[in-house]
Structures are given as structure tokens and as C-alpha cells.
Amino acid sequence: MSSAPVALVTGAARGIGAAIATELAEAGFDVAIFDVIDAAATVESARKLGRNAISITGDVTVDADRKAALKQIESSFGRLDVLVNNAGVAPKVRADILEATEDSYDRVMGINLKGPYFLTQAAANWMVSRRRDGHDGFMCVVNISSSSAYAPSTGRGEYCISKAGVSMATKLWAARLAEFGINVYEIRPGIIATDMTSTVKEKYDKLIAGGITPIARWGLPQDIASAVRSCASGAFKFSTAEVFNVDGGFHLRIL
Ligand SMILES: NC(=O)c1ccc[n+]([C@@H]2O[C@H](COP(=O)([O-])OP(=O)(O)OC[C@H]3O[C@@H](n4cnc5c(N)ncnc54)[C@H](O)[C@@H]3O)[C@@H](O)[C@H]2O)c1
């Protein structure tokens, strides 16, 4: 069994997830990456930091892939301490909710909400059984939601609904897992520079220049990774279901 704590980070081949996995490696975690695309680069950066790392190719929406991922972590590391539900997608087309399709709704809800919900269920059952077997170390789940959990964008309703669902899932799992000493946190990124936002760069450049965020800059994947590291390292042991806005103050209402 790995002597270091082990973190599973979904969607860590690039963007926010890659920064999270690398940051956790730096914090001393061995890391498993679960992504639909190859995550060799992230594995390489974790290994350069002296940690063990594995890449598991699979889809969070597929039950067999989720189970296979956990099995692989069990055979490679023998333990799981932290689950970071980061994988997520925007709609392929930003369509007004008067026009948007059921197919896009099902795709976004499947990847952003249903997949992570059942991955959490499977990982939580493993963590609970480790606790029952006497493991007394810190364990937690970190969900990456979005400011879209509360701020409506009528051009991507399915995304907003999926992220609002992630917020409720955070509360549900926090309530259910507290008795086992497994904490659950939600990180709510604002506008972060990644592939996901590259298609709307001009729009967000203008919004930021116009003052939409009190801290007037794009967020970086590293901003989210630092917050995840704090949660995963047990800095907030007496907090669960806590929401951390990492958004340059976007959530403030200023008069
Ligand atoms: N970029 C932002 O401004 C922003 C803001 C708020 C929230 N978020 C959230 O942060 C998370 C990461 O976003 P990002 O900006 O890094 O996006 P990204 O598109 O750069 O990366 C997403 C990763 O998830 C993986 N992925 C997609 N579908 C998957 C599936 N079915 N199974 C497994 N992996 C899958 C992709 O291959 C990719 O590696 C997402 O949940 C996103 O909703 C991003």
C-alpha cells in the first residue's frame, strides 16, 4: 500500500484538473488521473515532483469506467484519501434556453452531475470501509462547481443547472459522510483561463475590464489548485459542505 495519501482527480489531463493534480503531488499526494483523454503530461509533472502517478483513461459517465478506475487505484496504491470531482464540460453550442436541445442537456448533466455523483458514491463506500477497518487519517471529497451554480446564463442553462446540482450533491454527501470523518467541500471557480473559456475570451476580457470582478484579472488554474490543496491537506477539518468562491470577488454585490 502507498505510504503517502492518494488523490483521484478527474479531468486532470489539462486545465484546472492538471493544476490540481500537480499541486497535490507537490503537497505529497500520490495521484491518479481519470480523464477521457491521455493525461501523460500531468503524470509526468507529478512524477518529476517525486510522487507516484497513474493515468486512467475513461469516461465519468460510464459506470464500468468508474468502477475500473477505482479498481486500478486499489491495485496500484491500495488506498484512496481524496476525490476531486473536476471533470466537466460546457455545452458544445451556447444556445438560448428557448432553443437548446435535450441532447445537450443530457450530455452536460451526465458529465457534470450524474457521473460525479455516482463516482462519489463508489469512492465514498470505499472510504467508509477503510474507516471501518481502522484508517484514522483525513479523507475528503472536493467538488469543482462554478459561479454558474447561482448566476444564471440563459445561453447555457444546462451548465448552470448541472453546477447547481453539484452544490446540492456537496451538501448531501457532506451530511451523509460526516459520521465517518469524511469531509466534503465545494470550490466555486469564477472566470478561469483554460480551453473551456478560450472560445469566449473576448466577451470575458470585456466583462473583466468593465469591472465584473473586483479583482480585475482572469483567474488561473493555479488559483483553484491552491484552494483544493488547502482542503485536501486538512486545513479545514471542522468544516464540511463549505463553499469556497475562487472568483476574484465575482459573488460580491457592490452598491
Ligand atoms: N474554466 C472556467 O472558467 C471554469 C469556471 C467555473 C468552473 N469550471 C469547472 O472547472 C472544471 C474544469 O474545467 P476546465 O476549465 O479545466 O476545462 P477543460 O475543458 O480545460 O478540462 C476539462 C477536462 O475534463 C475532461 N473530461 C471531459 N469530459 C470527461 C468525461 N466524460 N470523463 C472524464 N473526463 C472528462 C476533459 O478531457 C478535460 O481534460 C469543470 O468542471 C468546469 O465546469 C471552469
- Distance between CA atoms of 116 and 119, rounded to whole angstroms? 5
pLDDT in tens, 178-215: 999 999 999 999 999 999 999 999 999 999 999 999 99
- Residue 22 has a pLDDT of 98
Q: Residue 179's pLDDT is what?
A: 98
Low-confidence ranges of the chain (pLDDT < 50): none
SS3 call for 8: strand
Other CB atoms within 10 A of residue 89 CB: 16
Distance, in Å, from the CA atom of 72 to the CA atom of 55, rounded to the nearest integer, reads: 10
DSSP string covering 163-176, please?
A: HHHHHHHHHHHHHH
Output the pLDDT for position 152.
98
**What pLDDT was estimated at residue 202?**
97
CA distances from 223 to 1, 83, 214, 218 (A): 31, 18, 16, 10
Q: How far is CA 91 from CA 111, 119, 184, in A?
A: 11, 21, 27
What pTM was estimated for this model as a whole?
A: 0.99
Q: What residue ranges define each of the domains in the chain, with the CATH number in brackets?
A: 6-245 (3.40.50.720)
The alpha carbon of 111 and the centre of ligand 1 are apart by a number of angstroms equal to 10
DSSP secondary structure code for residue 102 in this structure: H
In the reported structure, the alpha carbon of residue 89 is separated from the centroid of ligand 1 by a whole-number distance in angstroms of 5
Active-site residue 204, yes or no? Answer: no
149 touches ligand 1 (CB under 6 Å): no
